Structure 1
Amino acid sequence: MVSSSNLGFPRMSANRELKKLVEAYWAGKVDHQALVDGAKELRALHWKIQKDAGIEFIPSNDYSLYDHVLDHLFVFGAIPSRYANIPSSTDKYFAMGRGLQRPAEGIDVPAMEMKKWFDTNYHYIVGEFSPATKFHLQDTKPVDQYLEAKALGIQTRPVILGPVSFLALGKESSDAPAGFDRMSLLDSLLPVYVELLTKLQAAGAEWVQVDEPILALDRPAEYKAYFAKAYTTITAAAPQLKFFLASYFGRYSSNLDFVADLPIHAIHIDAVRAPGDVDIVVSRVQGKTLKVSVGVVNGRNIWKNNLAQSIETVKRVIAAVGSDRVIVAPSCSLLHTPHSLASEKKMDAQIKNWMAFSVEKLHEIVTIVKAITAPGSVDAILAENAHAHELRKTSPLIHNPEVQAELKAIVPENFRRQSKFEVRAQKQQQKLNLPLYPTTTVGSFPQTKEVRVARQKFKKGETTLAQYNEFINSEIQKAVKFQEEVGLDMLVHGEFERNDMVEYFGENLKGYVFSEYGWVQSYGSRCVKPPIIFGDVSRPYAMTVETSVYAQSLTKLPMKGMLTGPVTMLQWSFVRDDQPRSETTYQIALALRKEVSDLAKAGIPAIQIDEPAIREGLPLLKEDQDAYLDWAVKSFLLATTDVPDETQIHTHMCYSDFNDIFPAIQALDADCITIENSKSDLKLLRAFEKYGYTNGIGPGLYDIHSPRVPPADEMKSRLNAINKYIKTNLLWVNPDCGLKTRGWTETEAALRNMCEVAKQARSAPIA
């Protein structure tokens, strides 16, 4: 019979219990045993939720204290030598993810590189590999968590990252010799996978889910041999295990030619992102005994499933391969959707009725199965689902004729600045009079407990708007004074009024709705609550002008207005699925265009429109990328070009492999781009050198995602290295991202070091 399955469950729980637990451990408020016990309780709760919903294939080892890729690096002993002198294994694990600075113990290590997990807003830790890497089974977490569930009477399907993706998603370490290929380590890695899998087999596991998400990417021909070797080896070593191969976020494309012939027992299709794969995969596996997992429930978005359509898709697969070979599943792990709608008490009831969070998606999966295995048993649910979809389709809440008219009125001139960069740069320098190596920050300053409490009190109605604004203005005053004291050249107001760089703007735009508890994990303990775009987007009033003008009035130094760009507003939201994403992005860009124009007219000399997610939105397959880059670049230009030459346009990007999209970066035509570079071993800058970038650029001089304070000598060395790639007259000095998550003590120390390094560089600039 048709089976129900889940690929992964959100880790943070209903009210971010895991975040609070881990951060309490970091702060020394709970000990190691409390961390272990608390995490175990949450895992048990999550398994029970899935079992009670009726899910048959329940995942284990999808739970992580920080990141699942970091977990695998730790399990297989792929730990860089710089962490060797950290005695506690738990502290070593967290140090790899976030760095660790304990001068009294002689410990001062930065975090490993962090990168976006494909085209999601989740971040994973990038493995470092060299000929010196020696794999060994250092930890048995996958076995331990399987046995935990088994002791509770729950048979799970352990999830492991496949050996080919494990290596492919890493990088060659900085000390690896030229020409070294990390994939050459596959032969030494496979015996450790075999050891792990045989332990799972001995523990009583029946199935194992092996995630190979790189199959959604373009893969060179030699990967056929890697996969053949890997799966021939591991399946033969654990003959009692059944192997469920999962890829997601896109279609298999030509990779299917070798995947379907692997010695596996089930293959998963992301039928949401790659609906065309359903018939292709089914035809490819006919005549085999391979099970087909049909991912018809969207694991990446929060809209209610169209159950009738999903049932028809599943029936089509059943007709081709038989019901005993079909598994109904989400398109990917539910890691990327919030926990449950149950706690959402304030959301508009009509809009809420269009949604399904993770717990609700489990019930959707089970409903689809029941509709096939027990026809008539879920007719009431199906009727209610169909009615909700019809209401959403016809709701006047969604469509705004004025916005539609503005879209039709866009002309080519809206995508161009008045003059070329060289002309603009001269006018801007005359106005701003900036020194060489001008210093700035990416935007936000620490969101202290006092800031968060003040915001909460205002939202609860415990303080008035006037009282709240007075508090925010006092924080801005302190931030401006602080920046002047440490020696920054281009200031920011600090963003104390903003809970999140996307949520804040969504709250001030029409077409958005917000959840109270719709948290999803971004990285480590960092959670975000994505806005929900349900309808046409428009700007009813100016959002930042008053605050920016006030901040500028406090100083004679230039002040940046701070906005979030249209692509990032799209990518970091849950987006309506009833129109092309490009159209939604243009709507956001038109709203931001009005804000940018108003800031310039109000005398703000520089405006930063952040686009950290522009690379994140890039389709995974190259054949799909040009169309995306065309509308992504145009949306940024649409938002930024209605200003005079004297107005300096900045943007910020992070976690980007700019080699993939460099012509698009150039086409943005920003006057200055700041980038995350501190963890990348300068690899990003090679793209700027290769392609000859001629606008201003501020590579991140230090990593803000770690609490450590880099000494001035370290920053000086990095600036000198950067200067070899970037011309002095184009080079800005800044941290690699906003400082919202840091404390004031470390922020002040790091920025003082940074500004001192810039001053020293001016005394002997590199030509």
Structure 2
Amino acid sequence: MIKTYAYGFPRLGKQREFKRLIEGFWAGKVTEEELLTGIEKLNKKREESYAAHVDNFPRGEMTLYDPMLDTALILGLYRAESLEEYFQLCRGKNALEMTKWFNTNYHYLVPDFEGKRPQFKATVPVWDRHKGVKRNAHLIGPLTFLKLSKNLPEGAFGELLKEVAKTLVDYAVERGFESIHLDDPAFVLELSKEEWKAVEEAYGEFERFPGDVNLFTYYDSVDNLAGLFELPVSGVGVDLVHDRGENLKQLKTVEPGGKKLFAGVIDGRNVWRADLTAKRALLAELAERFEVVATNAAPLFHLPVSLAGATLPEGLLEKVAFAEEKLKELSLIAKGSDQELNSWSKGVGSSFGELKEVRERVQNLKEEDFERKPAYSERVKKQQEVLKLPLFPTTTIGSFPQTEEVRRVRLLYRKGKLSQEDYDTFIRGEIAKAIQIQEELGLDVFVHGEFERTDMVEFFAEKMKGIATTGNGWVISYGTRCYRPPIIYGDVDREGPMTIKEIAFAQSLTDKPVKGMLTGPVTIIAWSFVREDIPTEEVAYQIALALKDEIADYEKAGIKIVQIDEPAIREKAPIKRRNWDDYFRWAVRSFRLCHSSVKPETQIHTHMCYSEFGEIMEYILQMDFDVISIEATRSKGDIIEAFEKVNFDRQIGLGVWDIHSPYVPTVEEMKEIVERALKVIPKENFWINPDCGLKTRRWEEVIPALRNLVALAKELREEQ
């Protein structure tokens, strides 16, 4: 019988218990004892889910915020003597930078070696995730920890890698672990020969560990899979779903060396049910050369916990599987009859929700549909004539605080307990308040506040054909912040105008320009579970055409600025750069398709956050926007380096306020970021704005921070 293994089960809980416990502790409503007891109970439920379906799983996966931070504390890179100090590293004034975990929508905290040549020492942190753990102790691997850290001392990679590996082994030995589950997905990166040599030397440290070490990679293929099997480990986990067939090809020639193969055959990143008959056949083929264990490809925390409570259209439910159902798929592969496998997978691969007119519209696209005229140098003059913005214009990214009252009223409306008329009246009232606050603060470009929007993707999903929302399908994005990814199951089109009512009302209340706010096609795809029966490129063009129609309605309503948010354009990129050109070709074209036919005087903005911009600058420049706003606070303005190397002729707003923290920055702290930027970016092209939307913050934080932001702009105008 096939052995089964699973990892990465969501920590969130079916009722978001994780979020309520942690945020309750932050608010002083949950004691430390209650927090730790609650987390222990939640983790027990997780492990019970594993045990009900699979033969084995890792222990010690549970974190209070992020596993990379936990690893940094285990290594002694940071110290936290209390939970308050632990959370200060997550969300306080000195919080670590946050960025995307590989090409996913999970954000991790970035260990920073700036100014440090650490003396690593195995440490039991204040949050002891391995308390009572002996078997399959979960650890982040040394390569992933270092490759995803920043500001490593020059030339010290190999030495540091060996020290990290040694410290992890010291920690494992001192804790008395009997076996280790080692998550080291950085092996799917394009590693140099020098890096592989450093890996071989560093991994030699694991020879000191007396028990099994099972190494797991995922999200893509490993370029040197044979080298991975030669490391001193007991088993190797590979992704056989997202590997483009490359791992499978290498496995045909790799020498097993007596090591187990953890075959990742069940998709941990998308919700579609697997063809279990085909998966079982693949495992049987691999079993001719390896001792095979069936497992998931990628951690399951990218999925909602369970289909229980999900609200899906008729016909879709039997096509999808969330985390618990993925465990069931592993169980069925091992123990199910042929009839059970066929019954489970009967809807796999079939089309659902086809719209002939949408397909034809995409097929009839011409090259001119992706080109905006006139050139930026001409249209920027017309935009300034219309908008008459001052030097250092101020704005926000889009959303304003979603108070308990806003969430309460929206919930009543969604449950049918509030009429459309009463709901619209409430939303207009909130918009009016937001416009008044912006007037009083003296901002230059306004937003309507997005009080009607639960989420920047889910909101549009609810108004488009071919996309389903899940009801209770929550997934963690970072820390305790969670969202509900929609499911793109069919051809996509607007039901009708999606946002015009609220934006036009906001514009009617002020003479200042109000931005129309849209989420771009790549981000809608990246933060959804996308269909796999047609190319993703075609899905992107379908969404772009729907947004194109929405922008045309904006212009008819007199909206002069439109922001198309694409915060996910970098995260969606393939992990291996050799695959970037094809991805960015359609990603950039889908963005351009949205705005290619707008008037010259309509100003197009975009927003991106927490990405390595220097890596993708050549592609960003091809998007042909007029203004871009980006994060710059947690990176301390390091992003400016990306703009020092190119001729960036567009306008840019660097985020001067980290909205992921409750801390209110001073004018001086914001100015420090701006002054460095102005050495590279002409003052005529510089906007002042926060890092991201403000929906998760409180008005008591937002108003003083925005007041400081406006004061900064006025001070800069006087100086310039």
- TM bin, normalised by shorter chain, reads over 0.9
TM-score by length of 1: 0.91
Counterpart mapping for 1:390-401 below 5 A:
393-394=350-351, 397-401=352-356
Letter in 1 for 2:332: T
The aligned residue for residue 218 of structure 1 is 190
Determine which of 252, 267, 273 is the counterpart of 1:304: 273
Shift of 1:111: 1.2
Whether contact under 8 Å (1:213, 1:248) holds in the other structure is: yes
| Equivalent-residue separation in structure 1 for 2:345 and 2:46 (angstroms) | 29
Aligned residues with identical type, % of pairs: 39
The one-character-per-residue Cα deviations of 1:661-690 (angstroms, maximum 9, x if unpaired) are: 111111111100000111113222211221
The aligned residue for residue 16 of structure 1 is 16
Whether contact under 8 Å (1:672, 1:698) holds in the other structure is: yes
Counterpart mapping for 1:195-274 below 5 A:
195-200=170-175, 202-203=176-177, 205=178, 207-234=179-206, 236-239=207-210, 241-253=211-223, 255-274=224-243
Counterpart mapping for 1:22-41 below 5 A:
22-41=22-41
| Equivalent-residue separation in structure 2 for 1:353 and 1:427 (angstroms) | 53
Shift of 1:551: 0.5
| Equivalent-residue separation in structure 2 for 1:383 and 1:637 (angstroms) | 43
Shift of 1:413: 1.1
Shift of 1:501: 0.2
| Equivalent-residue separation in structure 2 for 1:11 and 1:271 (angstroms) | 24
Counterpart mapping for 1:508-657 below 5 A:
508-657=463-612
- Unmatched 5+ stretches in structure 2: none
Aligned CA RMSD, in angstroms, stands at: 1.7
Shift of 1:277: 3.6
The one-character-per-residue Cα deviations of 1:122-143 (angstroms, maximum 9, x if unpaired) are: 0000001144323222216898
| Equivalent-residue separation in structure 2 for 1:601 and 1:689 (angstroms) | 39
The one-character-per-residue Cα deviations of 1:685-744 (angstroms, maximum 9, x if unpaired) are: 211221110001001111110000011111122211121121101000000101011000
Please give the secondary structure, in 2, of the residue aligned with 1:631: helix
The one-character-per-residue Cα deviations of 1:459-512 (angstroms, maximum 9, x if unpaired) are: 111110000010000000000010111110000000000000000001000001
| Equivalent-residue separation in structure 2 for 1:144 and 1:112 (angstroms) | 20
Letter in 1 for 2:604: I
Cα gap change, 1:430 to 1:35, in 2 (>3 Å): same
| Equivalent-residue separation in structure 2 for 1:354 and 1:526 (angstroms) | 28
Please give the secondary structure, in 2, of the residue aligned with 1:127: coil
| Equivalent-residue separation in structure 2 for 1:476 and 1:287 (angstroms) | 63
| Equivalent-residue separation in structure 2 for 1:455 and 1:77 (angstroms) | 45
Shift of 1:190: 3.3
The aligned residue for residue 147 of structure 1 is 132
The aligned residue for residue 382 of structure 1 is 341
The aligned residue for residue 137 of structure 2 is 158
| Equivalent-residue separation in structure 1 for 2:156 and 2:641 (angstroms) | 19
Letter in 2 for 1:272: V
Counterpart mapping for 1:124-203 below 5 A:
124-129=108-113, 130-139=115-124, 145=130, 147=132, 156-172=135-151, 179=154, 181=156, 183-200=158-175, 202-203=176-177
| Equivalent-residue separation in structure 1 for 2:162 and 2:312 (angstroms) | 53
Determine which of 322, 336, 339 is the counterpart of 2:302: 336
| Equivalent-residue separation in structure 1 for 2:347 and 2:35 (angstroms) | 42
Counterpart mapping for 1:308-327 below 5 A:
308-321=277-290, 325-327=291-293
| Equivalent-residue separation in structure 1 for 2:345 and 2:235 (angstroms) | 31
| Equivalent-residue separation in structure 2 for 1:518 and 1:183 (angstroms) | 42
| Equivalent-residue separation in structure 2 for 1:581 and 1:139 (angstroms) | 45
Whether contact under 8 Å (2:162, 2:198) holds in the other structure is: no
| Equivalent-residue separation in structure 1 for 2:75 and 2:18 (angstroms) | 24
Please give the secondary structure, in 2, of the residue aligned with 1:643: coil
The aligned residue for residue 714 of structure 1 is 669
Counterpart mapping for 1:61-100 below 5 A:
61-79=60-78, 88-99=81-92
Whether contact under 8 Å (1:142, 1:159) holds in the other structure is: no
Whether contact under 8 Å (2:256, 2:289) holds in the other structure is: no
2:419 equivalent to 1:464: yes
Shift of 1:11: 0.4
Higher helix share: 1
The aligned residue for residue 106 of structure 2 is 122
Cα gap change, 1:562 to 1:181, in 2 (>3 Å): farther
Whether contact under 8 Å (1:58, 1:157) holds in the other structure is: yes
Cα gap change, 1:542 to 1:271, in 2 (>3 Å): same
Please give the secondary structure, in 2, of the residue aligned with 1:319: coil
- Unmatched 5+ stretches in structure 1: 100-108, 151-155, 372-377
Letter in 2 for 1:477: A
Please give the secondary structure, in 2, of the residue aligned with 1:147: coil
Shift of 1:280: 3.4
The one-character-per-residue Cα deviations of 1:133-184 (angstroms, maximum 9, x if unpaired) are: 2322221689863625x7xxxxx522211112111110017xx6xx464554
The one-character-per-residue Cα deviations of 1:226-262 (angstroms, maximum 9, x if unpaired) are: 211222112x2112x1111111000112x32422211
TM-score by length of 2: 0.97
| Equivalent-residue separation in structure 1 for 2:89 and 2:209 (angstroms) | 31
Letter in 1 for 2:67: H
Shift of 1:580: 1.1
Cα gap change, 1:469 to 1:144, in 2 (>3 Å): closer
